[in-house]
Amino acid sequence: MADVTLRNLRKSYGNAETIHGIDLDIRHGEFCVFVGPSGCGKSTLLRMIAGLETISDGDLSIDGQRVNQVDAADRGVAMVFQNYALYPHMSVRENMSFGLRIAGRSRKEIAEKVDDAGRILQLDALMDRKPSQLSGGQRQRVAIGRAIVRDPKVFLFDEPLSNLDAELRVQMRVEIAKLHQEIGNTMIYVTHDQTEAMTLADKIVVLRAGRIEQVGSPLELYENPKNLFVAGFIGSPKMNFLKARLVADGGAPTLDCGGARLPAPAWLAAGDPGAEITLGIRPEHFDRTPNPEAKLRIAVDVVENLGGTSFVYGKTAGGETIIAEMRDRAIPRPGEDVEIGFRMEDARFFDATGARLQPKA
């Protein structure tokens, strides 16, 4: 069983620590995605698992065995890089065979494995071509094929689709998902693209500045972000954030937010009056139904019509920017002043430090 376990894993370059004690359990067969902004330590962490970077402190186990000191070649992992790293003078077949030839495997075994990988990746007809005769997507498939023939316990991918154009990226994303379904190995996949993370992962690990912000399934992170960072990182277009203040002036407590008064949930109303909080609401949770619980007025700046759906960009009375996704026919026009509504149960609340505020269980 190719579980991967990280215990207080740390990495320092000289005196500067860049990975600050990561604890993580990746289960056998899981598709785990490391996601976060550029420079947050995704590649470093993946390379530490691969054995391409030394581990400064902590324990890394693969398949129940501590592998901190084990050579990359003996960890049972295979890595696929963003830039493919193919040998230009070798054919597709030779590129995929090379590692097995070096390892002294028999001709018969090599031929079987390479043919098998070629079939899975639909490279059968391209086996004798050189990398220069392939498209970007085909090259990336050869790089994946080279990993498959090694039959690793764990596949490691570092932004494998970043060099492809948008359409090909979507296509290869689906192929990687199919590959995981077909072979079922543990996969660890690094990306800065939250859409890739949402669509591929069983488990998403959100990283920021060398620390884990949150671990969970795509829907857990989408529904229940622990803090402002995760709430803003997961979801596209981003969750809207509005400054809000709790007001208790005699009647039922309300939220002073975006130039409007919104009903405050009872659990929130029990908090400090006057406390500065942030209300988060996703673009898809707005609508123009006649009787929404919570209403905001926005002055519409721009409308992006995508056919099935439209993104309406506007400003509240307080000057805060709002993006609302609209699917009905009553799409407002730029320059209009409109009322949009949402349900308070779809709103998320955060305190001044960015931590999520929730009802006590």
Ligand X SMILES: Nc1ncnc2c1ncn2[C@@H]1O[C@H](COP(=O)(O)OP(=O)(O)O)[C@@H](O)[C@H]1O
Write out the residues near Mg ion by the rule CB under 5 A. 43
In whole angstroms, how close is the CB of 360 to Mg ion at the nearest point? 39
Cβ proximity to ligand X, 56 vs 91, nearer residue: 56
| Backbone phi, psi, residue 320, to 5° | -85, 145
| Sequential DSSP letters for 132-159 | GGS-HHHHHHHHHHHHHTT--SEEEEES
Cβ proximity to ligand X, 50 vs 260, nearer residue: 50
In whole angstroms, how close is the CB of 95 to Mg ion at the nearest point? 23
In whole angstroms, how close is the CB of 268 to ligand X at the nearest point? 35
Three-state DSSP at 243 gives: strand
| Sequential DSSP letters for 284-330 | GG-B--SS-SEEEEEEEEEEEE-SS-EEEEEE-TT--EEEEEE-SS-
Q: Nearest-CB residue to Mg ion?
A: 43
Cβ proximity to ligand X, 37 vs 263, nearer residue: 37
Residue 44 binding: pick among Mg ion, ligand X, none (C-beta 5-8 Å cut-off by kind): ligand X
Residue 332 binding: pick among Mg ion, ligand X, none (C-beta 5-8 Å cut-off by kind): none
In whole angstroms, how close is the CB of 118 to ligand X at the nearest point? 31
Contacts with 25 (C-beta within 8 Å, 6 or more apart), sequence order: 3, 4, 5, 6
Provide the token pair at 129: 């071509």
Which residues bind to ligand X, rule: CB under 6 A?
13, 18, 36, 38-44
- Cα distances (Å, whole numbers) of residue 60 to 8, 65, 70, 207: 9, 8, 10, 18
In whole angstroms, how close is the CB of 79 to Mg ion at the nearest point? 12
Cβ proximity to Mg ion, 43 vs 214, nearer residue: 43
Angle CA 17–21–25, to nearest 5: 145
Cβ proximity to Mg ion, 35 vs 239, nearer residue: 35
Residue 340 binding: pick among Mg ion, ligand X, none (C-beta 5-8 Å cut-off by kind): none
Cβ proximity to ligand X, 22 vs 221, nearer residue: 22
In whole angstroms, how close is the CB of 236 to ligand X at the nearest point? 19
